């Protein structure tokens, strides 16, 4: 039976960061990833001769953890930083919202509300005690800060577009983090600066995996863990379709419902119930390969309740069309429950569904511009951060000795993202190394 110091279940950035740091500490590591490639939600597919994320990805210039792991593997030269154009579609009009001056020109709300919005945004960046916000809903908090006009036009449509029927349950902490993070990535003149990994985030995941293997670790893709059990003589056993593996410790990085399934029968029902208590939304991304651009905006927030997607992200207004063989790349993103009909649509059905909405937003749009379309789904894309989420969130340890949990539902008060996945993976590696070392004394 194959044995290691640690088996990492999940080859996303949490698992990869943990595996890399453990390997650098001389620990033997096995990574199990059920998909054919590493990366998790940052997985990619081929467009021409390059890779493209199934779900749009970038990071902020304030995201130091993901930048640090690129440097750790000697790939910092792959990081490119550029200014981005952001905007909003509201009431049949497009508004540029990339700089403070854009906000002052935003005539969809009164001048007094624009000024209040700017001042409130600056004030949010100074909030450090996020725990004081845990018992407040995002809707109530936004209204108290920005006033009715700005909240109804700018913030509530985004909240409802993201969380749908759960919007009223979302904690102010979630929105505080979003606004605080974006404020920390502004360049001169207030323009937002974003970073990207040349070759795509899938390439970054692959490069980390290669470093793990060079350090003696083992990467198994296309291999799903079935269950996790502790052994009477010590150690932990992980069952897979290819046989059983044994280790001194296990790190589970999958979404919490999957973690509960892995631990079913080995821990108490109350613990499993606590894992399944966290609610998630799924995501659908319709990706269009086009022969021309829709607009000059990279990130277009849609504040129109009649438009079924929360955002229109034109990747090639950030990364050059030359990267994708001259194609213009557009993402249409929708967070939704799994029972939403859109979640079950194939690419052609999703495109047919989206077409009239695109034509309403972009009257010149012709479906003939689209050379190919793809649809990607993620079942557990967004944990729903309710009020007092810290009391619901599971901890790093589990009831099973030497079985640990580090998932995107546990990065709170931050929201899920590559940067925090890396951070949590590195913290997990530090703790696991300490546990293993203590056992050797």
The pLDDT tens digits along the chain (441 residues) read 568 999 999 999 999 999 999 999 999 999 999 999 999 999 999 998 899 999 999 998 889 999 999 999 999 999 999 988 888 898 888 888 878 888 898 888 999 999 999 999 889 888 888 999 999 999 999 999 999 999 999 999 989 989 999 999 999 999 998 887 655 454 555 577 899 999 899 999 999 999 999 999 999 999 999 999 999 888 999 999 889 999 999 999 999 999 999 999 999 999 999 999 999 999 999 999 999 999 999 999 999 888 999 999 999 999 999 999 999 999 999 999 999 999 999 999 999 999 999 999 999 999 999 999 999 999 999 999 999 999 999 999 999 999 999 999 999 999 889 999 999 999 999 999 999 999 887
End-to-end CA distance of the chain: 25
Q: Is the peptide bond before 413 cis (omega within 30 degrees of 0)?
A: yes
How far is 225 from 218, CA to CA, in rounded Å?
Answer: 15
Nearest in space to 417 (alpha carbons), one of 13, 8, 37: 13
How far is 156 from 28, CA to CA, in rounded Å?
Answer: 48
Q: What is the pLDDT of residue 2?
A: 62
Do 281-383 and 2-57+200-279+392-440 fall under one CATH topology?
A: no
Q: What is the pLDDT of residue 1?
A: 54
Site of tokens 């998932």: 407
Q: What is the pLDDT of residue 125?
A: 84
User: Where exactly are the structural domains of the chain?
Assistant: 2-57+200-279+392-440, 98-190, 281-383
Q: What is the pLDDT of residue 48?
A: 84
How far is 382 from 283, CA to CA, in rounded Å?
Answer: 8
Q: What is the pLDDT of residue 97?
A: 80
- CATH architecture label of 2-57+200-279+392-440: 3-Layer(bba) Sandwich (3.50)
Q: What is the 3 state secondary structure string of the chain?
A: CEEEEEEEECCCHHHHHHHHHHHHCCCCEEEEECCCCCCHHHCEEEECCEEEECCCCCEECCCHHHHHHHHHCCCHHHEEEEECCEEEEECCEEEECCCHHHHHCCCCCCHHHHHHHHHHHHHHCCCCCHHHHCCCEHHHHHHHHHHHHHHHHHHHHHHHHHHHHHHHHEEHHHHHHHHHHHHCCECHHHCEEEEEECCCHHHHHHHHHHHHHHCCCEEEECCCEEEEEECCCCCEEEEECCEEEEEEEEEECCCHHHHHHHHCCCCCHHHHHHHHHCCEEEEEEEEEEECCCCCCCCEEEECCCCCCCCEEEEHHHCCCHHHHCCCEEEEEEEEECCCCHHHHCCHHHHHHHHHHHHHHHCCCCCHHHEEEEEEEEEEEEEECCECCHHHCCCCCECCCCCEEECCHHHCCCCCCCHHHHHHHHHHHHHHHHHHHHHHHC
Quote the tokens at residue 323: 């990267």
Superfamily of domain 281-383: Protoporphyrinogen oxidase, mitochondrial; domain 2 (3.90.660.20)
Site of tokens 């088996």: 7
How far is 236 from 267, CA to CA, in rounded Å?
Answer: 14
Q: What is the pLDDT of residue 93?
A: 87
């Amino acid at each position: 039976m194959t044995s290691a110091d640690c088996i990492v279940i999940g080859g996303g950035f949490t698992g990869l960061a943990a595996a890399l740091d453990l390997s650098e500490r001389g620990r033997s590591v096995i990574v199990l990833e059920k998909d054919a490639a590493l990366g998790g939600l940052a997985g990619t597919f081929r467009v021409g001769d390059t890779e493209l994320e199934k779900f749009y990805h970038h990071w902020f210039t304030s995201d130091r953890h993901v930048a640090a792991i690129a440097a750790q593997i000697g790939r910092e030269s792959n990081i490119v930083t550029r200014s981005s154009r952001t905007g909003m579609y509201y009431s049949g009009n497009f508004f540029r919202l990339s700089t403070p001056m854009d906000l002052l020109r935003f005539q969809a709300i009164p001048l007094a509300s624009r000024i209040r919005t700017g001042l409130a945004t600056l004030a949010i960046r100074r909030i450090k005690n996020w725990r004081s916000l845990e018992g407040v809903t995002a809707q109530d908090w936004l209204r108290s800060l920005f006033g009715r006009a700005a909240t109804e036009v700018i913030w509530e449509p985004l909240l409802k577009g993201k969380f749908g029927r759960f919007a009223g349950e979302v904690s102010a902490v979630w929105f505080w983090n979003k606004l605080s993070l974006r404020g920390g990535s502004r360049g001169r003149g207030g323009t937002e600066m974003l970073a990207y990994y040349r070759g795509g985030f899938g390439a970054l995941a692959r490069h980390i995996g290669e470093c793990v293997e060079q350090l003696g670790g083992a990467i198994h893709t296309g291999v799903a863990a079935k269950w996790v059990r502790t052994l009477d003589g010590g150690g932990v056993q992980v069952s897979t379709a290819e046989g059983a593996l044994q280790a001194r410790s296990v790190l589970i990085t999958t979404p919490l419902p999957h973690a509960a399934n892995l631990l079913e029968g080995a821990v108490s029902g109350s613990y499993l119930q606590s894992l399944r208590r966290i609610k998630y939304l799924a995501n659908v991304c319709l990706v269009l390969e086009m022969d021309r651009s829709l607009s000059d905006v990279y990130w277009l927030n849609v504040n129109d309740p009649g438009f079924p997607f929360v955002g229109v992200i034109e990747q090639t207004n950030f990364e050059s069309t030359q990267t994708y063989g001259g194609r213009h790349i557009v993402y249409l993103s929708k967070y939704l429950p799994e029972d939403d009909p859109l979640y079950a649509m194939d690419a052609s059905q999703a495109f047919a569904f989206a077409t009239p909405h695109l034509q309403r937003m972009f009257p010149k749009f012709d479906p003939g511009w689209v050379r190919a379309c793809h649809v990607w789904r993620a079942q557990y894309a967004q944990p729903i951060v309710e009020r007092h989420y810290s009391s619901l969130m599971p901890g790093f340890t589990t009831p099973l000795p030497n079985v640990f949990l580090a998932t995107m539902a546990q990065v709170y008060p931050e929201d899920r993202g590559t940067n925090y996945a890396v951070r949590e993976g590195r913290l997990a590696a530090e703790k696991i190394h300490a546990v293993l070392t203590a056992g050797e004394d």
